[in-house]
Structure 1
Amino acid sequence: MAILDRFPTLEDLLQAQPEDLGAELVLYLQILERNGSLYEDGLPDRILELYGARTQRPPGLVLIVSEALAWARRSLLVVRDMSQSSHGFIALSREGRAFTRGTLDRMRLREILPDILLHPAIRQTCLDIFNAGHYEAAVFEAFKQLEIAIRDAARLGAHEHGRPMVTAAFQAKDPGGALCGTGQSGAVYSLCRHWSHVLPRLPETPPPHPRAAGGDRWVF
């Protein structure tokens, strides 16, 4: 049984983090759903039965189960069962029915790097690499996309790459360079110099490169 494998004793369960118990609860609900509707108010008593407990609910049990369910709802693993006329019934979502313990690791990664914060070009090429656990490869790919975008925005040749390319793109010695623009602030000038030093520290990427997505001047 999923919950007993993860939490051998009731005391272990009462000390669980909401997401840890929530994950096991979703796996348990996958079993219960095969046998009929799921009524959330009855879950604490069902859990007690797993441990062979026939006494009153121990303090904190209802709260920890409520927290676990709240996590499952927030993660869109559990939803309200709208097929029932009465309130209190829940159902597993499509993702909840396909949920495994491995899914939890991927969900944690998504929280570390929300895709909404990423530029579309970075999201398209790097996010799956990151979510697969290849963090260094994802960072390298992200910087490669940035290098591509800088090259394209500065209209440099496909053979250009590394520090010479970035320096030429920003004309880092001149605040009025190609991408910095005339009369830009000192902060922008510093940013130009920053990228001319950061990118070359990565392994050089072989040209030619495809065009980066998006047409903004400040593509990064």
Structure 2
Amino acid sequence: MPNPFISVILAHYPSIEQLRATTELEIERALLRCIVEYCADGMHPMITRDAIPTLLLEDGGYAYSVQTKSDLERVIARAWKGLEDGGLIEEPDSYNGKNGYRVPSAKGKSAHAATDYTGVRMRTRFAREMFHPSLPDAAWNAFSVGDYDTAIFEAFKSLEVAVRNKGSLASTDFGAALMKKAFDPDNGPLREVAAPRSRRVARCDLFTGAFGEIPNPKGHNDPTITDTLIAVEELMTAGVLRRIVDNA
């Protein structure tokens, strides 16, 4: 079995491919949790950077290869530096510090206590390829670090631009009003002319309703989105709507 504290990282990133693909911030969060819990067990008051890759390659950890070892050392070194630069880990004392040992700082312990590790773990289950190819970097990057409101806002902003461009509509048209104009069942440039009018009305309602309800929770005084699955559902909704626009 892997070291119980290093298993935190393995739980978030079961394969080395997932670890390579995740953001630096997410790795820093997982590494901080590992360090805090490792140093709090009473047996390991401090830890070195080089110990982490070694522990991750023990029995029950990642399968050893020269490439995997190299990748782990690079990823952990980058995350370790991020924690140091952010003041989240520090030298326990001058003697052990010069030998590479670090402990979580008070700031690091506070950050650890405030981190939503369940959300971190949930996000690793969703690869970018699961979303519509048009999902902008700004939306994906925000989702990857748990900023769901921004992710959804950016996804729908990109969709709005696609509708405006596809329908050759004015740059002064926005949101639900833009959707109503683009998909107007009688004269909207993106209406499906061959479809029955009832379906054209339904499509117009679909787009205007989505833009009236989803993209800007802060603007509607709705609570900030904290549930990963709700964020995924709304990003997927943007993808479904984008597919309709692409085929219009």
TM-score (norm 2): 0.45
Larger Rg: 1
Structure with more contact order per residue of length (Cα contacts < 8 Å, sep ≥ 6): 2
